[in-house]
Amino acid sequence: MMGAGHPTERPTSRLAMRRAFGRAVLSVGGLAAILLAWEASVALWNIPLYVLPAPTVIAVQIERDWALLVRHLEPTLLEAVGGFVIGNLIATGLAAAFVYAPPLSRVLYPVAIGLRTIPLVAITPLLVVWLGNGYAPKIAIAALISFFPTLVNMSRGFAAPSADQLELMHSLAASQWQVFRLVRWPASLPYLFASLKIAATSSVLGAIVAEWIGADRGLGYLIVAATFEYRVARLWATIAVSTALALAAFLMVVAVERLAIPWRSEANE
Amino acid sequence: MFGDASKLTVVLGASGRRSLLGAGLGSLAALSLASCGSEAPAPGQATKAPASAPGSAPTTSAPTVAPTAKPVLPLSLRLSWIKNTEFAGVFAAMEKGFYKDEGIDLTVNPSAQNLPEIQAVAGKTDTIGLSGGASLMLARAQGVPVKAFGAVFQKGPGCFLWQKKSGLNGIADFKGKKIGHQQTARASTEAMLTINNLKVEDVTLMPVGFDVQPLLTGQVDILTGLVTNQVISLEGAGESIGYVPYADLGFGFYWNTPFALDETISQKKDLLIAWTRATARGWEYAIRNPDETAKLVVEKYGDGLKLDNQLLQLKRETPLIQTDFTKQKGLLWMDRAVWQSGHDLLLNRTKQLEKALIIDDVMTLDILDKVGKIGA
């Protein structure tokens, strides 16, 4: 968004790219080393399939089940994205309200913590009763799971500007909206992205857990169906795809963060 | 959120079904609370008075259910598990138009790990549910006004299973062995041991997940599971498995019993009769045509399931669904005495019931009486 037009013009960009490349090599190399060690230990100790299948076995299964996996990826993706958007919007809005109406935070913050501490497995059947069948209860769970980290972080983020900054705005006769737009919102962005990274992966997990209420489509369904028939390789193929989905969601947030707050993400990624 | 990741791994290992007995009923209490706020009647204290119908639910006040020129009524069914051949009769009836013949437009909603069927019916998300006889009695004891009006499985598929190479032959050999049971099946496992003249101290009871791994890795000698699931899966994986069904150990509960709220049974009786008739016809068809039905289930309803497994499952289920009793009375029939003895087990042996229930609160033959004999 904001910095989108600039990165290439910056003098350090070539150096930054080289660094980024180095980091990518490290990440990919690390993953490859783990997979290699995994493969080798399965072969070396002759680990049976039902304890741990080798990565190559899982890869072959993914290839074989590709159409099936893609078919079931779709609803889970929809639930995760829906929950992610709704949960984060509500959390950000609520956090903003907390800043301007502190008593509200005293009333609602404990409620929010209470919501977060409810064991999901216990509440999912009730969500079906409240919200009916179909996507609604599943999106609600993904939203619930995305909601809390963002609320906590954004409550901090909107309060992050120092007293000096706020005083300056006050002496410039800035309106409340201007203070929010020019000071509080930019100051909160690092907090926002920190929580979005958490929410991105957990909303995928939330959608999968939600499908255990009962579904006939989705990666969560496929996990239940595969375990039900004791098809270990397919189970692991589904796990791999779920993990890839969560990872992709995470990377997407990282990419958006780079564009939105380049001054910040440069330092710590 | 990392806590949720661990939840994921808990169920990832699941190879079979939830426990047979009373799993997840804790959330029913929460449901009672929840429905107090909504227009649903509070199931807190069980009274038999049907609540004055909130909203305008479609009722079948017409006394006859003629298969011709009837308005089609929507009806939703909550299964006790994912869509598979455990519900073959329902899918056969859908495919063959048996529900349509009765003027029913049936929606089938699956369940999975989280046991929502009793909640779903009590909360009026679904009109009819399928559950286990024991779970229904425990729910009733907590004041949830649900009642069984039929029974698909005459014998539950629950069993003890072991690897044949262990040399075990039956429960008499269990002495000194390690039994892995699902956490919620502790009471029923102990009860089955004592009924069969074993002392609880004679064996080592180990709570395990739904998974078969503890058996394969030798952590336990015996595992609780389902004839129609773990046994088939293990055999499919090339293991040689021995098993004994709970039903043969004096532990008899109906399984996949259709149930509904008391008020539904009194107000929509004709609809339930029509549904039961169509479902019994569906099962009759499925039992006669297992290959066709298994194929239908895999291709149309249970995406990703394996035809061989599903066909074998259907064949293993058949003797549990079609018994000498149903040959006499009809498919889906049930015997009040079986409910009574199951009730007494829960009350006196497993102590899961704190006080006696009235059996006629738990089950009714009113619907089956009107359905008649289907499937000889």
Average pLDDT over residues B318-338: 95
Strand, helix or coil for residue B109: strand
Residues of chain A neighbouring B14 (CB-CB closer than 8 A) = 224, 227
B31 touches chain A (CB under 8 A): yes
Of B179, B215, B213, give the one whose Cα is nearest residue B196.
B179
- Range B158-249: architecture per CATH: 3-Layer(aba) Sandwich (3.40)
**ipTM, two decimals:** 0.73
Nearest to B33 by CA among A87, A122, A139, A110: A122
Residue A237 is encoded by which pair of tokens? Answer: 């193929």
Partner-chain contact A228 B16, CB within 8 Å? yes
Is residue B27 over pLDDT 50? no
Mean pLDDT across the stretch B335-348?
93
List pLDDT tens digits, range B284-302. 999 999 999 999 999 999 9
Q: What is A22-52 written as a DSSP string?
A: HHHHHHHHHHHHHHHHHHHHHHHTT--TTT-
Q: For residue B120, give the nearest of A128, A149, A229 by CB distance.
A: A128
Give residue A79's identity as a one-letter amino acid code.
E
Q: Which of A201, A230, A242 should one mutate to test binding to chain B, selecting the residue with the greatest count of B CBs within 10 A?
A: A230
Burial class, B321, CB count within 10 angstroms (exposed 0-12 / middle 13-18 / buried 19+):
buried
**Pairing, β B204-208 against β B257-261:** unpaired
Predicted pLDDT of residue B137: 93
Amino acid identity at A129: V
Q: How many residues does chain B have?
A: 376
Query: Closest approach of chain A CAs to the CA of B65, in angstroms?
Result: 29
pLDDT value at residue A89: 96
Asked whether residue A253 carries a pLDDT value surpassing 90, the answer given is yes
Kindly determine whether residue A125 and residue B8, on different chains, have CB atoms separated by under 8 Å: no
Domain ranges of chain A: 1-47, 53-268
Distance of alpha carbon B340 from alpha carbon B356, whole angstroms:
10
Nearest-neighbour CA in chain A from B59: distance (Å): 21
Smallest Cβ distance to B4: which of A120, A211, A235? Answer: A120
Residue with the larger pLDDT of the pair B115 and A2: B115
The pLDDT value given to residue A7 = 46
Q: What is the mean pLDDT of residues B254-259?
A: 95
> What's the gap in Å between the CA of B333 and the closest CA on chain A?
27
CB contact under 8 A, B236 and A230: yes
**Domain B67-155+254-371, CATH number (from 3.40.50.280, 1.20.1250.20, 2.60.40.10, 3.40.190.10):** 3.40.190.10
Question: pLDDT, tens digit, for every residue of B65-93?
Answer: 445 556 889 999 999 888 999 999 999 99
Question: A239–B12: do the CB atoms touch at under 8 Å?
Answer: yes
Mean pLDDT within A2-24: 65
State if pTM tops 0.90.
no
CB contact under 8 A, A230 and B234: yes
Query: What's the pLDDT band for B234 if we cut at 50, 70, 90?
Result: confident
Strand partners, B76: B107
- Residue B162 corresponds to which tokens in the numbers above? 């072991």
Give pairs for B59-68: CB < 8 Å, separation 24+: B59/B267, B59/B268, B60/B268, B60/B269, B60/B270, B60/B271, B60/B274, B62/B270, B63/B270, B64/B270, B65/B102, B65/B103, B65/B270, B65/B273, B65/B274, B67/B101, B67/B102, B67/B103
pLDDT at B26 > cutoff 50: no
- Distance (Å, rounded) from C-alpha A269 to C-alpha A258? 9
Give the pLDDT band (50/70/90) at residue A14: confident
* Statement: A53-268 belongs to CATH 1.10.3720.10: yes
Q: Write down the pLDDT at residue A264.
A: 64
Residue B51: which residues within 8 A CB-CB, separation 6 or more? Answer: B41, B263
Average pLDDT over residues A7-32: 77
From residue B136, give the alpha-carbon distance in Å to each of A44, A146, A221, B250, B362. 50, 35, 25, 19, 7
pLDDT digits 0-9 by tens, A97-139: 998 888 888 888 888 888 878 887 777 778 888 888 789 999 9
Q: What is the pLDDT of residues A159-211, one digit of tens each?
A: 888 888 888 988 888 888 888 888 899 999 999 999 999 999 999 999 998 88
pLDDT at B164 over 60: yes
A6 has pLDDT over 60: no
For chains A and B, count residue pairs whose Cβ atoms are closer than 8 Å: 155
Beta strands in chain B (DSSP E): 73-78, 104-109, 128-131, 146-148, 158-163, 178-182, 204-208, 222-226, 241-245, 257-261
What's the sign of the alpha-carbon dihedral A236, A240, A245, A250? positive
Contacts of residue B324, Cβ cutoff 8 Å, sequence gap at least 6: none
Q: Which of B1, B26, B303 sits opposite A202 (nearest CB)?
A: B1
Q: Does the beta carbon of B316 lie under 8 angstroms from any beta carbon of chain A?
A: no
| Mean pLDDT across B229-253 | 87
On the question of a common fold for B67-155+254-371 and B158-249, the answer reads yes
Partner residue opposite A149 with nearest CB, options B1, B17, B120: B1
pLDDT tens, B178-194?
Answer: 999 887 677 778 888 88
**Closest chain A C-alpha to B370 CA, distance in angstroms:** 31
